[in-house]
Structure formats: C-alpha cells, structure tokens
Structure 1
Amino acid sequence: MDHDRAKLLTGKIALITSADTGIGPATARALAADGAELAISVRSDRPEPDFVEELRRNGTKISVFPIPSAINSEECIRLVRRVIGTVGKLDVLVVNCERKFQWQVDDLDLDEDALEVQFAINVRAAITVIRTAIKGMNDQGRVIAVGSIVADRVGTPGLADYAATRAAIVAFCKGAAHDVGPRGITVNVVQLGAIDALLMDAPAAQLEAEIAANAMKRLGTAQEAAAAIAFLASPAASFINGAIIDVDGGYNA
C-alpha cells in the first residue's frame, strides 16, 4: 500500500459484500489505501482471508461478518443491520455478489433450480443489500454494484439468464439513483469484462477467446477493476450518478 497517497476516504466506513471472492480482495485493498474503515462479508464455511490480517497490519480497521454461501434476502437484511449496528452508519457500499450458470434456453437438461439460485443471489439478494444499506447510509454516500459487461453485450451462447440478472441490477441502480440523489447519495455500476480474478479456473481456450474479444488483447486485473470502484467511492465522483462504467478492455467498444 502506498502510504503517501491522498487518503480520500479517511473517516468513511465501507461495506464490501463477498469480499473473499472475485475482485473483493483487490477492492478491500484499494479502499483501505484511500483510508476507509472496512466492514466485509465473507463465506462462513471458509477460513478468514489472508488479506484481512494484511490490512490490519497496515493499520486498517476492518470488521469481518461471516455469511452462509446460500444467502437469501432475509440473510442480507440481517447482515446489513448487523454491520450498521457494529460500525454505525455506512458511507460506501460495494455490492460484489453473484452466481453464474451457463445453459442454452433450449437445453433439455437445463437446471431450473440452479437458475433460480442465480436469480436469487444476483438480483434479489443484491437489491436487498442496497435497499437496506441505503436506509442506514450517511448523506453523500456511495453505492457501487459490481456487474458484468454481458448486461450490454452477451456475445456467447448459454448466458441469457445470467445476462438478464446483470441487466436487472443496472436498471435497479438507475432507478435508485433517482430516489436517493437528493440526499447526495450516488448509485453506480462497474461492469466487468475479462478480469483475471474471475477467470482463474477457466480453460486455456476460454482465456484465449476472452483476450481476443477485447480491444486491448489481454485480461484486465482485479486491481484495475478495484481502481474504478475506488474512484466512484471518492469525492471526485460526487456528480456521477446512475452511471455504468465498463472495465472491459474495450469489449463493448
């Protein structure tokens, strides 16, 4: 961490959901580097992530809230209320949670239960977290939802249902931006393309296809995605509301 940089989030409290998955660790480090106090949710069936102790050693105040892997709306409400009861009102919320299943709509073996889980987590749980957190958020707060570029451009068979869940979050955040804009709260979405932390287990052929599909001909890094989130959380983004920022290397260009 660069301790000489401006601490734009000093005195702010940020909640990051599912901080132990995807770009969560990089986002925690980026917000901590800007001076934020962190509250993070992590899977209860996993050990505490290594980055938690790393951040504490560097002086970040961080509270950890275990959650079940099969989280539902009631669990989301309890999580946010527990966080606010522990750390006080929130200033920044980063909603980083998703399930991704791939089936073509005409597949006879399509797993309806899995698709229901995908919808429950990607849409209902995410919206519940946002709605509950906003009620306990300070004015001038920031809400950033981590989404996917497939909300705009699918490009691959088998992603219709997943893309629908990602598009739903975009629509919700645009509507929420109108609702809470008068309080100075901004609600934005960072849509991710081919990011290394999301493709760690992908086969070589998929990685090659992902790289070929974007204009920069490489994977993005979790740190690059986290930088966009940190910017939207900062005072510099105070007039950016209801916006979509694509971190996709030009896939959607």
Structure 2
Amino acid sequence: SNDKFIEVGKNCYIGVNSAISSHATEGIFGNVSYFKVKVGDNVTAAVMNIVGPGSEVYGNSFLLPIASTPKHSTLKGNNYYWGLPLRKIFRKKTMEYLDITSGDLEKNENIEGYKDKKLLKQLKEKERRLEKTDEITNSTEMLDDLQEEKIDINKLSEEELALDFTTSSAISRVNLKFLVVYVPIFWLSGMLVTIMFYTFTFYVRNWLVIAFFLPTMVILMWFVFILACFFFSKLFLTLINLIHKPKEGIFKS
C-alpha cells in the first residue's frame, strides 16, 4: 500500500472488493477520521470486507464475506469473524453455520464407541437435556425482552417527546461547504466549455454547418464538462495533499 498509515504483514490475502481504510468520512457532519491501521501476518479477508481506521488485526485472523470493522476495532487473531459489524464466531455459531450438531462432533470423537448401543442411549439423553435447557433460556430471554419493551405512556415527559432538529442544521451546513468547494470547480469547467464553444464558432462561420453539428456539439460539451470536473477535482485534491500533510486524528470538513 502507498498509504503510510497502513501496515500489512506477510502472507496476507485481501479478497475482491475488500478495503483497508485508514481514513473515513462521517455521514452527517462530514468530519474525516484519519488513524493508523495495522494488519498482522497470515490474515485472510474473503470478499467485500472493510477494516476501519484505527483498527488492529492480529495474525491468523479470517474474515468471512462482508465481515467489516468499525473504527478503532481490535481483532485478537486465531479466530474466524463474520457479520456487519463483525464479531468472533464461537463454536456454537460455527456448528450452526456448517449445520453440524453436538452429536455429530461426539460421533466423530468416539467413532468406535458409537457402535455400542448403551453409549447411544446416553448420548440421546444428553441431547434431550441440552434441548430442554435451551428452551428454558430462550423463554427467559423472551420474557426479559417483553418487560423491557413495556413503556408507560402516562409517565413520559415533554422532554422525552421533543424532537431534535440538530441533524437538519448539520446537513444544511454540509451542503454549504459542498457548494463552497465545488462552485469554483463547476465555474472553471463551465469556462472551459464556453471557451471551446466560442472558439469553434469563431473559426467556423458557416451557420448551416453549426446548425447541423449542434446536437453533436452539445453532447461533446457535456462530456468535456464532466471530464473538466474530474480534472479540476483531482487538481484541487493534489494541491490540498501537498499543502496539508496527513496526521492522525479527526478533522472537521
């Protein structure tokens, strides 16, 4: 990687559409977070994985498809990770993912003893006990969730029912900053298109030719405007990077 804030170890595989990002932009306020990312040895990222700024991935970590980290995450390594945001896969989740039961694992460990009918009965009794304990835990979790969801409407205050309009003002502030940055780019691109158009009409005096090629000229000017926007945006970004050397931290846009 050309980014000096990204350190990648040896024997790492980064899959298709996976990204290790040392900087990210917040969705509402537009602040840019810039922090160092460290990746250890023997790390495998499958497909469409994202490692956020300030994260540290230790060696022998395996990221399943779409497993992504938020900012400042630490993966201890020697484990499999999945989900968005990612989390470690425990033995039970691995069994569910591979559709393997505890009986299958015991059968694999005691393949010879499974021939004994007495051992089969003992294992079946253990499975029934486990199923009963799972049912009890699930029912208690459901009751806890229902108790938490109960809300007394009469006890709600005006402050709890009040609406917060800070997000709308933040969005308008971001739009103003967007205009301040991109209005000069659009102006320069429009000037380039205007210069090309008037240069063409200055040298070509035949109005029949101009009228005949007018649709082609409009489409051509449209593509020139788009290319000019890309060109000036890249130019401005290069100048900003030359003026401001990157540092770690959160920067206001």
Query: What TM-score does the superposition give when structure 2 sets the normalisation length?
Result: 0.19
Higher Rg of the two aligned structures: 2
Query: What TM-score does the superposition give when structure 1 sets the normalisation length?
Result: 0.19
